[in-house]
Amino acid sequence: MDYSSILHFSDKQLIGFEETYGKYKRMRLKPADSMPMFVINTPMETYSWEERLSDPSKMFEDELRAINAHAQVGDDRVPAARVNFGTAQIAAAFGCDIYIPPNNLPCASSHVLHDIRDVDKLGRPGRFAGWYGRLYEFSQFYRENLPKGVEIQLPDTQGPFNNAHLIRGNDIIFDFYDNPDELGYFLDFITDYLIDLIKSLAPLTTNRDGWFFDWGSLWQGAGRISNCTVHLISPVMYREFILERDIRFLESIGGGRIHYCGTYPEVIGSFINMPPVTGFDYDDSLHSLESVCALAPENVPVYCWTNSTSRTMRNLLDGKWPEKRNIIIGVDAPSIEEGRVLLERLRASSEGHYE
């Protein structure tokens, strides 16, 4: 199919994307020479999720429209598309039932490990288990129709604890107290599975040279851990049970970033200071940019998801920036035109502060 009517990049734009990739790499490799990056999201018409989930061409069209909107704004979002089946793909592969809410992404509606003492009976899913067959079908469609300059991101694979929670359910909380040895075995089993899974899914992406595309940015390594579910346990439990598995996972795939939309500020220091962590993103409504930047090592970029009326945005537009340069600001704007204005203001403010 020809998607040039939806998205077509000029040679000048393609050169610009290569320059943007260089800026993202500099955030990790030469943070003192980097500058803040900006991702401005604007509204767009889309197919329903029911349509996107059943038709790769419709999901692909919406991905290209989103890329085109960012290109019109002129922000720092990399032109990367993703096959998006939500957070429960791995749970589905293990046999969990999937529920699709109206016009929304799929989620797990059941849990297959009813007793943690049965963990040794939990077999590894086959290559096309659950939604994986559909994932390969959609990924192949993407690759066959990819416009020049567009990349393919890794599908959502969550992380060791998020997936363990989906497969086991909320009873996993009791396992920390009642069956810690079996829980440790289960977490190791899921971690080992994820390490192999990331490597097997790599050919479905256009990631290369030790860098991967994710959430419209470029990161060193090969994958991401989503640690949202960590807000269900204490920071002490995280450090005792999960931290070593997260480290082993990231080390085994060559590094990666951490996503966290939980509420505990105490656990962020553990996330962001893991040796193999190459980036961190968080929800600005739950934690401040200043506090997160204070915890982050110099060479770990921080991605701040915020909104146009937040205290963070007011501070940044007033020229109050953290000392840390390698930050990414993601924010919504009501339209492409207003997105351009906001982008210009943010860039001018950051340049005035740092340069």
- For the stretch 61-106, pLDDT in tens is 999 999 999 999 999 999 999 999 999 999 999 999 999 999 999 9
Q: What's the pLDDT at 1?
A: 78
Chunked in runs of 10, what are the mean pLDDT values of the chain (355 residues)? 91 97 98 98 96 98 98 98 96 96 96 96 94 97 97 96 98 97 98 97 96 96 96 96 98 98 92 97 94 97 96 97 98 98 98 93
The DSSP secondary structure of 24-81, one letter per residue, reads HHHHHH-GGG---EEEEE-------HHHHHH-HHHHHHHHHHHHHHHHHHT-S---EE
Query: pLDDT tens-digit profile of 300-324?
Result: 999 999 999 999 999 999 999 999 9
Chain center to CA of 46: 21
pTM value is 0.96
Q: Which residues fall within 8 angstroms of residue 94, CB to CB, at 6 or more apart?
A: 112, 122, 125, 129, 130, 167
CA 118 to chain centre: 31
Q: What is the DSSP letter of 261?
A: -
Q: Which helix (H) or strand (E) holds 346?
A: helix 336-354
Sequence-separated (6 or more) residues with CB below 8 Å from residue 323: 293
Domains, the chain: 31-354 (3.20.20.210)
Contact between residue 295 and residue 272 where contact means Cβ atoms under 8 Å apart: yes
| Helix or strand (DSSP H, E) at 348 | helix 336-354
pLDDT number for residue 126: 94
